[in-house]
Amino acid sequence: MKIILIISLFAALTFAQAFQMAVVGDAGKSGHEMDALKESLLQAGQKVLIMPGDNLYKGSYESVWNSWKREGFQFPIVAIGNHNDGYDQEVKYFGMPGEFYTKSSQGVRFFVLNSDNEDTVSEQFRWLENQFQKAQEKHIFLVYHHPTFTVTEGHHWKQKQRFQMKMRQFLKANGSRITALLLGHDHISTFVQFGPVVAMIAGSGRSARSTEPVNYVEDGFQIKTLYLAPESQHWGLLHFESVSDKIRAGFYSISRRKMTCVIELGKGRLRMAPGCQ
């Protein structure tokens, strides 16, 4: 029943031609909140995960994530955050192609970056520029951990200044081709406008922090909160319609057992459902 309730908010789609992925950030610590997150995802039938970083706070990858693997969860898109047990260890455990990489499926391409490693910033962006120009997919997502602009009092974008200045340049030049950014770090669930690009920050999978909406201009970008989920556990959901250029993105409340906001993403289009008010 719960999965039917979720799907109903993604109406008018050809489901045989669609696929979904859950977005879960800042979740890497065992405990009752992590158990609640896993149970919510299982009840919703969402086992394919995008993880925008902070995948291990304490313990080992095996102690935190092996039970998820036994339940059939898959981790095709994983970004490294500032809480980890070493870049090489995280790459090995999740079977990532490297610290930064690209993957494509059914007309959607993901570029995954390591915003935590400032020693490889120049290398990452040379690679990104080269690979981005070759991309032919209808939808392109950038996945990394640290938001490029400050959206909460708890974290400031200058924590990773070299990376973020390069990213701002990249977004100015290529923002019109990017469907969305998938980010974590701030322990909130929100949609934020970064100039020409929408950022989905899915960082409250395990715990949520209190914050306020933002609305300011910096470096030529209008930074504006489009939707801020209530201060509780949420996970994100991406629904891809492979026979059109439509993608729907939303946040699912674990305690309320329902979607709290759904937006439609597409080139030149951003439509928000009434629940996002």
**Structure confidence by residue, pLDDT tens digits, 16-26:** 357 899 999 99
Per-residue pLDDT reduced to its tens digit, 152-167 = 988 888 889 999 999 9
pTM of the complete model: 0.92
For range 135-144, the mean pLDDT = 94
Q: Considering the chain, what is the average pLDDT of its residues?
A: 89
For range 196-219, the mean pLDDT = 92
Going from N- to C-terminal start, the domains of the chain cover 2-276
Neighbours of 250 (CB within 10 A): 28
Structure tokens at 235: 């996970």
What is the dotted CATH code of the domain comprising 2-276? Answer: 3.60.21.10
Query: Residue 59: which pLDDT band, with cuts at 50, 70 and 90?
Result: very high
Whether residue 8 is predicted with pLDDT greater than 60 in this model: the reply is: no
Percentage of the chain lying above the pLDDT 90 cut: 77
The pLDDT of residue 205 is 83
The pLDDT of residue 61 is 97
**Of the candidates 122, 68, 131, the residue with the CA atom closest to the CA atom of residue 104:** 131
